[in-house]
Amino acid sequence: MTTPRLVDHVIVGSGFAGLCAAIKLQEDGETDFVVLEKGSDVGGTWRDNTYPGATCDVPSQLYSFSFAGYDWSNSYSPQPEIQAYVQQVAAESGTLDRFEFDAPLTDAAWDDAAQRWTVTTPRGVWSARFLIVGAGALEEPKLPDLEGLEGFHGEVFHSARWNHDVDLTGKRVAVIGTGASAIQIVPELQRVAGHLDVYQRTAPWVIPRNDRPYSRLERAALRRVPGLRRLYRTGLYWSHEAYVPAFTLQPKIAAPAKVLALKNIDKGIADPVLREKVRPTFEFGCKRVLRSNTYYPALAADNTELVTDPIAKVTGTAVVTEDGTEREIDVLVVATGFHTTDLPIAHHLRGRTGHTLAERWEQTGMAAYKGTTVPDFPNLFLLVGPNTGQGHTSMIFMIESQVAYVRDAIRTVRRRGLAAVEPRADATAAWNRSLQRRMRRTVWTTGGCQSWYLDEHGRNTTLWPRSTADFRRRLASFDMEAYS
Ligand code: NAP
């Protein structure tokens, strides 16, 4: 057996979450760590999602670390720029020497005798006191369960695994899905494809995206004027936070945004039949609200057909809908989302009882204490864990809140001379009871839609049902009284 390399901390993943943990641990003088990354570069979901048109739908100044500014070119950042940002922050942080790439975690088991985690990858085994998992919630593509998909003769790929070798110029292309990824892909494909079929199961709410390049003057001012970036960011933060009451308390408050979305349809589409097809039939905010100025015009273009008949099957050369229509295609793009409520990493984490986190969650549903720690899994910290997501602002704000909590937990363990901490079962149950009680009022539960926020039992295990400022306050310091 390979002798494990001893470190204080193993961090899993080098997207925004893992990188933030590495940088902040280093700041605390906790320099004995390794970052295990399954891919060959940093960036996580922003490394993987290279589809045409990939752009963040949260403004650049907000979708970035509070501690690392950047000379963003646009008010909303395109994927290559976000990837370059993550690479730059990683390089400048002085932590990259402890990153192991192409090292997917295959097993992590808590050794109760040694009070340590044994973490296995194809590149070696590590033994660590603390395990910090930032593997991401939008990591594992979810393919549609469609008859015949495997037998399709043309090119088929998921939005998060774009095949850039396929030239789409003049081709007959189909896109399945009309979520956040698809609405960015469709306008790009419509420009180059000979013909484009868009298969819509549920029409999303789409508000305009006021994207624009920053002027040279703005960029210079944001770089040089002390405090300006921070002020701008704070303004953006609170303007986004204003959505929270509409999503979590009273959907009627979103009426003005709904009007904007309906006007967006009328502006982009002239045909009344097509307008009706794209009009959402569920409450605003129940699924992620999307932002685009180009999606509706692309659907209205002569070379696009929006198909709303359910898909019956895929043949070697075509997609067949339930009404019997067969639409021949060369390329099939599945923009059908990710495994979000059955996180793949949970199958690889084995706690004090020997059971995996996935086995535990099969019984309890995906749940954690403060979205971060789990009973029977000592010294394990999940970043972007259960009920830490949101649909209205930057996930990086949540990540930074969680990392602050983890740092304080580690400081506490050291200060008190403890070997390990794990949340008490009663504290965890109380946290989740209160969370799920609150969830009943949210538009995600009452809004009449099915979304990736909900698990197979209709329970929302992904989103945070209060303001993100509230989340930050609750995780501001490590609450030892909830732990054993
Ligand atoms: P998604 O929001 O889960 O959308 C998946 C789409 O595929 C939905 O329209 C869904 O229809 C459809 N679909 C799934 N299975 C299908 C089937 N068997 N037949 C027909 N249609 C099917 O996935 P996503 O668009 O990849 O986005 C996931 C999340 O990633 C977003 O919510 C967001 O958090 C993040 N994201 C962010 C950005 C950004 O700019 N920051 C960009 C892209 C993605 P139904 O609606 O009927 O289920």
Provide the CATH number for the domain around residue 64: 3.50.50.60
Instruction: Tell me, yes or no, whether 222 lies in a domain.
Output: no
- Given this model, what pLDDT does residue 42 score? 98
Going 195 to 201 to 203 to 209, the CA torsion angle's sign is negative
For residues 170 and 347, the answer to whether their CB atoms sit within 8 Å is no
How many other C-beta atoms can be found within 10 angstroms of the C-beta atom of residue 57? 17
The average pLDDT across 18-24 equals 98
Instruction: Tell me, yes or no, whether 292 lies in a domain.
Output: yes
* Residue nearest to ligand 1 atom 12, measured at CA: 177
Q: Does 141 contact ligand 1 (Cβ within 6 A)? A: no
Identify the burial level of 253 via C-beta atoms within 10 angstroms of its C-beta, where 0-12 means exposed, 13-18 middle and 19 or more buried.
middle
Residue 393 and residue 351 share a domain: yes
- Given this model, what pLDDT does residue 364 score? 87
Given the structure tokens 């494809």, which residue do they identify? 193
Q: Does 56 contact ligand 1 (Cβ within 6 A)? A: yes
Is the pLDDT confidence value at 287 over 70? yes
For residue 152, what pLDDT band results from cuts at 50, 70 and 90?
very high
Q: Give tens-digit pLDDT for 121-137.
A: 999 999 999 999 999 98
Q: How far, in Å, is the centroid of ligand 1 from the Cα of 346? A: 22
Atom nearest to 144 CA in ligand 1:
18
Q: Does 76 contact ligand 1 (Cβ within 6 A)? A: no
Residue 17 and residue 88 share a domain: yes
Q: Does 336 contact ligand 1 (Cβ within 6 A)? A: yes
The average pLDDT across 238-245 equals 95
Residue 278 and residue 165 share a domain: yes
Residue 466 and residue 369 share a domain: yes
Residue among 167, 171, 204, 205 at smallest CA distance from 190: 171
For residue 95, what pLDDT band results from cuts at 50, 70 and 90?
very high
d(CA 214, CA 58): 15
- Given this model, what pLDDT does residue 343 score? 86
Q: How far, in Å, is the centroid of ligand 1 from the Cα of 475? A: 30
Residue 170 and residue 121 share a domain: no
* Residue nearest to ligand 1 atom 26, measured at CA: 337
Residue 31 and residue 130 share a domain: yes
Give the three-state DSSP class for 435. Answer: helix
Identify the burial level of 18 via C-beta atoms within 10 angstroms of its C-beta, where 0-12 means exposed, 13-18 middle and 19 or more buried.
buried
What is the count of structural domains for the chain? 2
Residue 187 and residue 274 share a domain: yes
How many other C-beta atoms can be found within 10 angstroms of the C-beta atom of residue 433? 10
Instruction: Tell me, yes or no, whether 209 lies in a domain.
Output: no
- Given this model, what pLDDT does residue 247 score? 95
Give the three-state DSSP class for 476. Answer: coil
The average pLDDT across 10-15 equals 98
Amino acid (1-letter code) at residue 89: V
Q: How far, in Å, is the centroid of ligand 1 from the Cα of 206? A: 13
Share of residues in the chain with pLDDT > 90 (%) = 95
- Given this model, what pLDDT does residue 453 score? 94
Q: How far, in Å, is the centroid of ligand 1 from the Cα of 224? A: 39
Q: Give tens-digit pLDDT for 412-461.
A: 999 999 999 999 999 999 999 999 999 999 999 999 999 999 998 899 99
Q: How far, in Å, is the centroid of ligand 1 from the Cα of 142? A: 9
Instruction: Tell me, yes or no, whether 219 lies in a domain.
Output: no
Q: Does 78 contact ligand 1 (Cβ within 6 A)? A: no
Q: Give tens-digit pLDDT for 188-241.
A: 999 999 999 999 999 999 999 989 999 999 999 999 999 999 999 999 999 999
Q: Does 391 contact ligand 1 (Cβ within 6 A)? A: no
- Given this model, what pLDDT does residue 130 score? 98
Q: Does 140 contact ligand 1 (Cβ within 6 A)? A: no
Query: What does the mean pLDDT of the chain come to?
Result: 96
Is the pLDDT confidence value at 120 over 80? yes
Q: Does 53 contact ligand 1 (Cβ within 6 A)? A: no
Instruction: Tell me, yes or no, whether 36 lies in a domain.
Output: yes
For residue 1, what pLDDT band results from cuts at 50, 70 and 90?
low
The DSSP secondary structure of 73-133, one letter per residue, reads SBSS-BHHHHHHHHHHHHHHHT-GGGEE-S----EEEEETTTTEEEEEETTEEEEEEEEEE
Q: Does 190 contact ligand 1 (Cβ within 6 A)? A: no
Q: What is the pTM (predicted TM-score) of this model?
A: 0.96
The average pLDDT across 150-169 equals 97
Pocket probe mutation, ligand 1, options 201, 319, 452, max atoms within 8 Å of Cβ: 201
Residue among 245, 246, 248, 288 at smallest CA distance from 435: 248
Query: Of 334, 359, 392, which one is at a domain's C-terminal end?
Result: 334
Q: Give tens-digit pLDDT for 52-78.
A: 999 999 999 999 999 999 999 999 999
Structural domain including 298 reads 149-204+246-334
Instruction: Tell me, yes or no, whether 232 lies in a domain.
Output: no
Query: Of 334, 356, 385, which one is at a domain's C-terminal end?
Result: 334
The average pLDDT across 97-116 equals 98
Q: Does 63 contact ligand 1 (Cβ within 6 A)? A: no
* Residue nearest to ligand 1 atom 43, measured at CA: 181
The average pLDDT across 129-150 equals 94
Q: Does 178 contact ligand 1 (Cβ within 6 A)? A: yes
Query: Of 289, 306, 334, which one is at a domain's C-terminal end?
Result: 334
The average pLDDT across 244-272 equals 96
Residue 298 and residue 162 share a domain: yes
For residue 2, what pLDDT band results from cuts at 50, 70 and 90?
confident
For residue 341, what pLDDT band results from cuts at 50, 70 and 90?
confident
* Residue nearest to ligand 1 atom 31, measured at CA: 180
Q: Give tens-digit pLDDT for 32-51.
A: 999 999 999 999 999 999 99
Atom nearest to 288 CA in ligand 1:
32
Pocket probe mutation, ligand 1, options 51, 181, 339, 463, max atoms within 8 Å of Cβ: 181
Residue 288 and residue 153 share a domain: yes
Instruction: Tell me, yes or no, whether 212 lies in a domain.
Output: no
* Residue nearest to ligand 1 atom 19, measured at CA: 144
Residue 460 and residue 355 share a domain: yes
Residue 430 and residue 343 share a domain: yes
**In degrees rounded to 5, what are phi and psi of residue 351?**
-90, -160
Q: Does 335 contact ligand 1 (Cβ within 6 A)? A: yes
Q: Give tens-digit pLDDT for 342-401.
A: 888 999 999 999 999 999 999 889 999 999 999 999 999 999 999 999 989 999 999 999
Pocket probe mutation, ligand 1, options 200, 336, 342, max atoms within 8 Å of Cβ: 336
Write out the two tokens for 370: 């403060």
Q: How far, in Å, is the centroid of ligand 1 from the Cα of 247? A: 19
Q: Where are the beta strands (DSSP E) in 105-208?
A: 107-111, 116-121, 124-133, 155-158, 172-176, 195-199, 206-207
Is the pLDDT confidence value at 178 over 90? yes
Instruction: Tell me, yes or no, whether 379 lies in a domain.
Output: yes
Q: Does 186 contact ligand 1 (Cβ within 6 A)? A: no
Residue 414 and residue 370 share a domain: yes
